[in-house]
Amino acid sequence: ERQKNIRNFSIVAHIDHGKSTIADRILELTHTVTAREMQDQLLDSMELERERGITIKMNSVELHYDAEDGETYIFHLIDTPGHVDFQYEVSRALAAGEGAVLVVDAAQGVEAQTLSNVYLALDNDLEIVPLINKIDLPAAQPEVVREEIEDVIGIDASEAVLASAKQGIGIQELLEQVVKTVPAPDGELDAPLKALIFDSAYDPYRGVVLTVRVREGVVKVGDKIKMMHSGAEYEVTEVGVNSPKPVAREFLGAGDVGYITASIKDIKSTQSGDTITLANNPASEPLEGYRQMTPMVYSGLYPTDNAKFTDLREALEKLQLNDAALEFEPETSQALGFGFRTGFLGLLHMDVIQERLEREFDLDLITTAPSVTYHVTKTDGEQVDVSNPAEMPEVSAIRYIEEPYVHASIMVPNDYVGTVMELAQRKRGEFDTMDYIDAARVNVKYYMPLSEIIFDFFDKLKSGTRGYASLDYEPAGYRQSDLVTIDILLNSQKIDALSFIVHRDFAAERGRIITGKLKNIIPRQNFEIPVQAAIGAKIIARTNIKAYRKDVTSKIHTGDPDRRAKLLDKQKRGKARMKSVGTVDVPQEAFMAVLKTD
Ligand code: GDP
Ligand code: MG
């Protein structure tokens, strides 16, 4: 039967442990791409992924493997991102297969996202094929890592593949293990169609391209398909697989991973997690969809040119297809005009969305400072959710405010435990537990306010531990905190888009830091501009931007012409993203100044 030679699996790991490079080696070994077409991290096809050297989107590809048992197997491999912000991608990728290759760096060992990815895989009842990568590194300790996988994760690693994706070692062995360990998909070919949409993208020519895992039945060109949740119906124009370029097929059947197009222009009727069936022979029940993600952080997105508001909405709708965790709703700002309050899973996600909107949709945007969602109980008993600091009720109307907490897990070498604890404490962390991973590393857990963790905890953690610490976190409810809203006044005018919320203990310091930063960021104009930070009517910090603009490069005390050119270039781009707020020109950078706490 055709399914017995199909294997569907994802590659998961902590960031940088080598997932995309292993995918490269698999593509080569199976001759899926020619030597001429080959390039590093081939599946990272988005420009932004290549520039930053990270995987942002999952990518599925079909390949054919001639195994040692003489059979040819069809693999559907999905490469996934490793960063905590993109875990939603990983969870949807995992739901499309029967197995997961778990990659662990032989020099780094088990890290925070190694664990979270394993838990996702186990939640999906997947078979796990462990692989220890980078054994070519002088610092590699494959045997120590093997023990870590067994002790910390609790899976059998005695057969773990020892590999070097860089040198092409262990790849064949990996594929043999996939054949043996990952079960073939099941599902009846003659049952009514059930295909799960796990990703999609908008293509201006083909309309919405749906990436699906077919669970039951068959779908082919000309079929009338129906989305079981939205009820929308379409006629299939093409089905196929990515290999890695799209290759049309006659049909997709139970067990296959591939794409469907049906000239779909109406974006809203095709959501990830929906089940596709046939209109005239429908399945009775849809497949289990995905848990809706709650964004961790919100910020306002505004076009620098107010006339581009509708373009921004269309762009967000199209991008939402390709990024199921993105949320947005319209909002207005006195300072910035019409825009959208947009929800993200973290700051990297926010950054990526902004970049994609600018590149893929040719928009110039102002992004306001990110904020978590606060639960506010007012004196009249009403409860409101506030994710835009400008909408925080008057102090006198607030009974109490609760803020989101997370349970954070920090893996770090023993030598840095002191540093980590000090940092966590400074960020209002409450110590939970500390466990040994092996003789030299520990896993420290803290309860921390989400706002402290997403704002600059990670950067500080990395720099304080020479890059050795890894961090993962999950929501841990809400707690009451003594929080205040700090407003910023430029030229005595309150700029709503610059307001932010902090713990009262940090208010004075933050007020001082932010006014200082704004003073440096906002270009001088031909009049003096007072910059003030205030809580209600009380000014807590102030400074002045002196009149007259100076050549900014004269401040760059560097002989390095490269650096000078870079700064000039940055300045130019920054200027393009300037917004006139009342009488003052405010560059994009100013809205992000609150993120830097020193
Ligand atoms: P991903 O984030 O898990 O997808 O990791 P990548 O595949 O992008 O690899 C991260 C970095 O590790 C890149 O610089 C790779 O060249 C490097 N790398 C991957 N595999 C190996 C390996 O086996 N040995 C060595 N020395 N470096 C590797
Ligand atoms: Mg990658």
- Looking up tokens 């969870």 gives 91
- Among 11, 12, 15, 16, the mutation site with the greatest number of ligand 1 atoms within 8 A of its Cβ is 16
Mean pLDDT of the chain: 90
Is residue 254 within 8 A of residue 212, CB to CB? The reply is: no
Instruction: Considering only residues 294 and 565, tell me which one the structure prediction assigns the higher pLDDT.
Output: 294
Residues 452, 503: Cα–Cα separation, whole Å: 10
Q: Which residue has the higher pLDDT, 578 or 258?
A: 258
**pLDDT tens-digit map of 164-190:** 999 999 999 999 999 999 999 999 999
Please work out, in degrees rounded to the nearest 5, the angle formed at the alpha carbon of residue 13 by the alpha carbons of 316 and 272.
Answer: 30
Q: In Å, what is the CA distance from 502 to each residue of 101, 301, 371, 493?
A: 42, 21, 10, 21
Q: How far is CA 562 from the centre of its chain?
A: 32
> In this model, does residue 206 exceed pLDDT 60?
yes
Is 549's pLDDT higher than 60? no
Secondary structure letter of residue 454 according to DSSP: I
Residues with CB under 5 A from ligand 2 (ion): 19-20, 55
Q: Tell me the ligand closest to 163's alpha carbon.
A: 1
Ligand 1 site residues (CB inside 6 A) read 13, 15-21, 41, 55, 82, 133-134, 136-137, 164-166
Split at pLDDT 50, 70, 90, the class of 377 is very high
Query: 135: annotated binding-site residue?
Result: yes
Of 220 and 467, which is predicted with more confidence?
Answer: 220
Give, using CA atoms, the residue closest to atom 24 of ligand 1.
134
Q: Which of 201-205, 232-236, 583-587 has the lowest mean pLDDT?
A: 583-587
Is the backbone peptide bond immediately before 475 cis, with ω within 30 degrees of 0?
A: no
